[in-house]
Amino acid sequence: MPAGLEVRSLTFKVTELSGFGPGGAEEGLLVYELPEATARRITLGGAAWLDTLRHDPASRNTNAEYWEWGPTPVSGRGLPLDTSLCLYDECTPLPPELRQRVNAILASPGSYFARGRPGATIVVSPAERLVIVRYGK
């Protein structure tokens, strides 16, 4: 998570694991509450402000890096959300209300997204005051 977003509150988390080590796979969905002050900065500065968020060079966690912020709508690689997260034969259902809310954000203008590693997409919705991270599959 880019530190400049100043998120503190994780409101939803689902992770699907299959195996461990080099042959293992993981996918997940994380939803955070976006602080009001950060939402105002994004509303005023848009993707240009989000582009100023840089990874902390003192940290070795490159999974927190996102680049090429753009406006929604967005689709592709795991988006919009399906009814569940599935790896191989295992599936974890997503709550329908959350799925509908996230998919509405993805399909509407006014939010921003960026790609990251490993196979992650981050979506920031200042109007809904949410940060959504979809990773894996």
The three-state secondary structure class of 105 is: helix
Residue 52 DSSP symbol: T
Q: Which residues of the chain have pLDDT under 70?
A: 16-26, 54-64, 77, 87-90, 118, 137
Q: Give the number of other Cβ atoms within 10 Å of residue 47's Cβ.
A: 15
Residue 107's pLDDT is: 93
Do the Cβ atoms of 47 and 91 come closer than 8 Å? no
Residue 53's pLDDT is: 82
Q: What value does the mean pLDDT of the chain take?
A: 82
Task: Give pTM, 2 decimals.
Answer: 0.83
Which residue range is the domain that position 27 belongs to? 3-135
Domain count, the chain: 1
Residue 31's pLDDT is: 95
Q: What would the pLDDT profile of 118-135 be if each residue is shown by its tens digit?
A: 678 899 999 999 999 988
104-123 in b/e form (b: 16+ CB < 10 A) is ebbeeeebbbbbbeeebbbb
- CA-CA distance, 82 to 118, in Å (whole number)? 20
